[in-house]
Structure 1
């Protein structure tokens, strides 16, 4: 029998969908366990692949309806009816599956923005939360149905090819006109490979770390608990490495030089997540000899939070975390600055964050050489005290309450 082939457009869309569906089924089976950066990234990839499947399925359906296709294989009426049912159920699963997933994301209590493959923003559907549970139930049923249809489709194609002697594979596999066995083995290998990649892919680990993690040097006598936090890959001055400076220094207004860094480290399911704020400013009036008159004020633009993952950064800006739309800035103000000995200082004050004002303390080392100063320090805050983390993120089993801050910068004062 001479095979009547599908168009190359139909063949291309068919195999793209087959590989993506195999990958998506396997990836979906890994979306379990405690919240973690890796699980978060897997969900983002799952959403991206789902939208890709939706768009490709709509294109495949348009091709199916608009272009001629080979006639159905001969056989009993019940087999032709069953084949037709399987094909249309596939369209249902490939279109309705991603749509119900889209509904789940759009109606979730925690609104996480979607970026398709980390690049293209994808909007939420304008529907109420009442859609969430029905969408979740239907999505689960469609996932199981997809697995059954996938297996049935493969078995049916092989049955037609070898038990019934009908050249089904040559109709849909490129370059398989006279090599059905080789083509079948190659196609199955691709499907198994896509499934295996979906099981093993670890997008969070495969992405290069955006920041180097360097442990800041903290004075040994510091009582505040600190853990390693991200700093610039440059040496931090300590009391042991700083030379004594001129003790007679009048109070002055210091200007922070460009190139400073304000970083933070949170622990998500035991894994450190490092980030930084790219926009912040400081008003510093300081003299080591006039600490009672010295003041420090730091204003941080919360929308500038950068962890190296655009979707995670959007989540930080949302109402579940910083709520940067309603509270764009965090402000630390210190008027109680104490000398701890050597080049070590402590600044006590208040932190205004997300509409809450709480006491906060930071410790820092200071080196002054002429009219130039080098500062580096650390602090720890309790995110839950400021309501950073709403809903399921308010608990501390996934994201720890303590967040470590590390900063370093140069500053200058008017020449004396």
Structure 2
């Protein structure tokens, strides 16, 4: 397989979103602004890297009053922590044709080691990298004060991503 290093992020085809449950009902929200740099070659996994920076204030849950609440101190505290970041430390062959992307996720000033199971494919639009990362929101102090209780908003949150880039020429 040829070198499939990724270059330009295709913002229109890419997405980063979350799914959380409030009173057992799934709620979706998406981040409207993020940057991703992925240098990936299936034949050279040891040299492959990924980095994603998310503008936390760009989160949209569908209503401005809720968006404002989520940007506040109890949730994302975007004034103090404007970005969340994932930086890979290694990419390895995983199961079922997926790749294990090992790295550090930092949200709200707290860093956790994570492993993301991600799929990769090439299509006419470029390189497509997709996956889901389940996290515990309380591990990152997302939902403090009265919101720390997980009976209203569940502790588990799924971060879903689809990163599409053009192939380097």
Does 1:410 find its partner at 2:161?
Answer: no
- For the residue of structure 1 that corresponds to 2:146, the secondary structure is helix
- For the residue of structure 2 that corresponds to 1:308, the secondary structure is coil
The 3 A distance-change label for structure 1 pair 311 and 289 is: same
Does 1:252 find its partner at 2:41?
Answer: no
CA drift at 1:369 = 4.6
Which of these residues, 258, 264, 271, is aligned with residue 25 of structure 2? 271
Does 1:326 find its partner at 2:58?
Answer: no
Cα deviation digits, residues 22-74 of structure 1 (max 9, x gap): xxxxxxxxxxxxxxxxxxxxxxxxxxxxxxxxxxxxxxxxxxxxxxxxxxxxx
Contact 1:299–1:332 under 8 Å retained in 2: yes
TM-score, normalising length from structure 2?
A: 0.92
Does 1:379 find its partner at 2:133?
Answer: yes
Cα deviation digits, residues 206-225 of structure 1 (max 9, x gap): xxxxxxxxxxxxxxxxxxxx
CA drift at 1:371 = 8.8
Does 1:316 find its partner at 2:70?
Answer: yes
CA drift at 1:269 = 1.1
Cα deviation digits, residues 332-391 of structure 1 (max 9, x gap): 111211112564112111111101111122211111258921222111111100111111
- For the residue of structure 1 that corresponds to 2:153, the secondary structure is coil
The whole-number CA distance in structure 2 between the counterparts of 1:371 and 1:266 is 30
The whole-number CA distance in structure 1 between the counterparts of 2:74 and 2:61 is 17
The whole-number CA distance in structure 2 between the counterparts of 1:360 and 1:406 is 14
Aligned residues: 168
Contact 1:366–1:375 under 8 Å retained in 2: yes
Contact 1:371–1:413 under 8 Å retained in 2: no
TM-score, normalising length from structure 1?
A: 0.39
The whole-number CA distance in structure 2 between the counterparts of 1:342 and 1:274 is 27
The whole-number CA distance in structure 1 between the counterparts of 2:93 and 2:36 is 20
- The structure richer in helix per residue is 1
The whole-number CA distance in structure 1 between the counterparts of 2:23 and 2:96 is 38
Question: 1 or 2 for the larger relative contact order (CA 8 Å, sep ≥6)?
Answer: 2
CA drift at 1:410 = 1.9
Which residue does the alignment assign to 1:297?
51
Contact 1:251–1:294 under 8 Å retained in 2: no
- The structure richer in strand per residue is 2
The 3 A distance-change label for structure 1 pair 315 and 372 is: same
CA drift at 1:399 = 0.9
The 3 A distance-change label for structure 1 pair 341 and 388 is: closer
- For the residue of structure 1 that corresponds to 2:121, the secondary structure is strand
CA drift at 1:250 = 2.9
Q: How do 1:12-91 residues align onto structure 2 when only pairs under 5 Å count?
A: none
CA drift at 1:271 = 1.1
The 3 A distance-change label for structure 1 pair 341 and 381 is: closer
Which of these residues, 112, 115, 131, is aligned with residue 361 of structure 1? 115
